[in-house]
Amino acid sequence: MDHTVEVPPIQPEQEWANAWTHGFSAVLWCVVGAWLVRSSAGEPGLAIACGVYAASVVTTFACSTLSHVFLEQPWLDRFRACDQAAIYLMIIGTYTPIAYAYSPAGWRIPLLTAMWVAALAGFFNKAVRMHRLHSISVVSYLLLGWLPAIPLIRNVPVELAYAMFIGGVLYSLGTIFLMNDRRAPYLHAVWHLMVLSASLVHAIGIAWYVVEPIQNSAL
């Protein structure tokens, strides 16, 4: 007896929902990122860290949008590779201003270097080598998302830890929709909205408990 489950094809309206959700996210994050950089302008190092953070998030949302707009080869695989690769940058980009502000004494440069080496290795593997392009590297995303918290958790304010935890949970729960997005319509768009929600929770935490304290101490 054949137990094969037929996977329904993705309809054009679903792809447009996927494109619009992250297209909107990219535009919104241009505003959020500009505000974070401007708010941290009094501390050049933090402003650079926030700029890297914002650029990584905007890049990820933009690549995701393009991967759902250009559906013909070879553009589909190229943008899909960039989309999957940029997630590594977004994960570590989010940690960058936090590591800048709250790394243990003497560990700022080594920690930032280690995080970015890991992110760039993942990026290269997906964007250049196009390794396992038609599968999602959820395990590596989750590991990269949670492991850098270990050396930082004792130093960050508890409120920031809560914000990062809530955002991390939203990302992690969102992967359930990502892994099952062919089982029902619009689950991939739900994943996109979970990613946007998590990114905004992280942005609020960074604005309130990274940017604001450093700016106040500089006054």
User: Which positions make up the binding site for Zn(2+)?
Assistant: 68, 188, 192
Does residue 157 have a cis peptide bond before it, meaning omega lies within 30 degrees of 0? no
Q: Report CA 172 to chain centroid distance, whole Å.
A: 12
Helix-helix angle 138-146:75-102, to 10 degrees: 10
Closest among 148, 190, 187, 154 to 168, alpha carbons compared:
148
> Which of 170, 180, 167 has the alpha carbon at shortest distance from 136?
180
Annotated binding site: 68, 188, 192
Structure tokens at 204: 């609020």
